[in-house]
Amino acid sequence: MIPLEWYLILAGTLFSIGAYGILVERNGLKVLMCLEILLNAANINLVAFSRGNLMGQQFALFSIAIAACEVAVGLALLIMLFRYMDTIDLETFNILRW
């Protein structure tokens, strides 16, 4: 059986990679991918702490469904912005800011 600490180290590493990618990347597609890595780190934590019961795994499945919806909306926005401005560089978009 894999110790809990290893799951936490893996989740922390994935969370760090995702957070770093969101902060550094300017490509919208890469930011979406980093957000998915970040959410998967949370899912690993949910499953790791749910030993013995299924509640954490149920929350992880719910989180995966929410993440799929988030990616669909994000990709739709990126496609619309690409058609409108011919780039997905997030630095060039200022039409969504108020």
Identify the pLDDT of residue 1: 83
What is the torsion angle, in degrees rounded to the nearest 10, for the CA atoms of residue 84, residue 86, residue 89 and residue 90?
Answer: -10
Amino acid at 44: I
d(CA 29, CA 20): 15
**Mean pLDDT of all residues in the chain?**
91
What is the torsion angle, in degrees rounded to the nearest 10, for the CA atoms of residue 89, residue 94, residue 95 and residue 98?
Answer: 140
Identify the pLDDT of residue 90: 85
Identify the pLDDT of residue 81: 87
Spell out the domain ranges in the chain: 4-87
Q: Which two tokens stand for residue 23?
A: 């902060």
Query: Mean of the pLDDT values across residues 52-76?
Result: 93
Annotation: CATH topology of 4-87 = Helix Hairpins (1.10.287)
The answer to whether the Cα torsion of 55, 74, 18, 22 is positive or negative is negative
Return the ∠ at Cα 58 (arms to 45 and 39), rounded to 5°. Answer: 40
pLDDT tens digits, residue range 1-44?
889 999 999 999 999 999 999 999 999 999 999 999 999 999 99
pTM for this structure? 0.84
